[in-house]
Amino acid sequence: MYTGKSLVITPETQTSPIISMDIDGSVWLLSGTNSIKTEKILTAPKYERRGIVMNGLGINTFTNTDPSVTKIYTDPSYQEVYILADNRIWIFVPNSKRFSDVKSLLYIGQIDVQNIVISDIAIQQSGDVREVFF
């Protein structure tokens, strides 16, 4: 049985502008103006909106969060979460393989490309082999 629609993101629940979103079984949100924040919206086993901590960045920080070029990329087939920001592809590993258990991301590296402006990416994964197209 279906129920009536309800708002998930409202001005009361969203304190900073949403830059990007993607879906991998749950909804990932990337938001912020001066600093980037990640969140997940889950609907099973119950509705939950959860902040996701980005660990391991160390001295690496996002400096340009222009919404037109800052995006998050997730997919049920990916083992990582990718963020396009600062003309770099940032790579994170979720702390759990079950989408409903993810509470943090661990920064594992980034791809820097010289003399090219990256506006979008696509990831193709086959087993342990990943190809990133931009």
Query: Which pTM value belongs to this model?
Result: 0.87
Q: Mind listing the pLDDT tens digit for each residue in 70-105?
A: 999 998 888 899 999 989 999 999 999 888 899 999
Inter-residue contact 71 to 81 (CB < 8 Å) = no
Token pair 């940032």 is at which residue?
90
What does the mean pLDDT of the chain come to? 86
Q: Mind listing the pLDDT tens digit for each residue in 27-53?
A: 999 988 777 899 999 887 788 889 999
Number of domains in the chain: 1
Asked, for residue 13, whether it belongs to a domain, the answer is: no
Asked, for residue 9, whether it belongs to a domain, the answer is: no
> Which residues constitute the domain of residue 111?
18-133
Residue 130 pLDDT more than 90? no
For residue 49, give the nearest of 111, 118, 103, 129 by alpha carbon: 103
- Rounded CA-CA distance 133/115 in Å is 16
